[in-house]
Amino acid sequence: MMPRFQIATATQSPSVTGGSRNSVDQRIRAFLNGESHGEDVLGALYGGAANEPIPERLRALIKP
């Protein structure tokens, strides 16, 4: 069974949502609304880990 996720909305009190919306929240909402491709969301979530090199063993698995 898939879990049900709920996105905090502006109608909730600031104490529930953690205050005003931050930029990561706005970027996630833009991605979910189809306003972006999500590359900035991935960068916000994974940061420098996305810039790490792919290990040779994994690279060998994905080569055509």
Q: Provide the number of structural domains found in the chain.
A: 1
| Higher local confidence (pLDDT), 21 or 27 | 27
Does residue 13 have a pLDDT over 60?
Answer: no
Classify residue 54: in a domain, yes or no.
yes
CB atoms within 10 A of CB 28: 19
Classify residue 4: in a domain, yes or no.
no
| Higher local confidence (pLDDT), 1 or 46 | 46
Classify residue 40: in a domain, yes or no.
yes
The per-residue pLDDT for 9 is 56
What's the whole-number mean pLDDT along residues 24-42? 85
Task: Output the pTM of the full model.
Answer: 0.40
Host domain of residue 25: 21-62
Classify residue 43: in a domain, yes or no.
yes
36-53 per-position pLDDT tens digit: 888 888 877 788 887 888
DSSP class per residue in 1-64: -PPP-----TTS-HHHHTSS--HHHHHHHHHHTTSS-SHHHHHHHHGGGGGSPPPHHHHHHH--
Please tell me the number of Cα atoms within 13 Å of 2 on its side-chain side. Answer: 3
Separation CA 62–CA 47 (nearest Å): 23
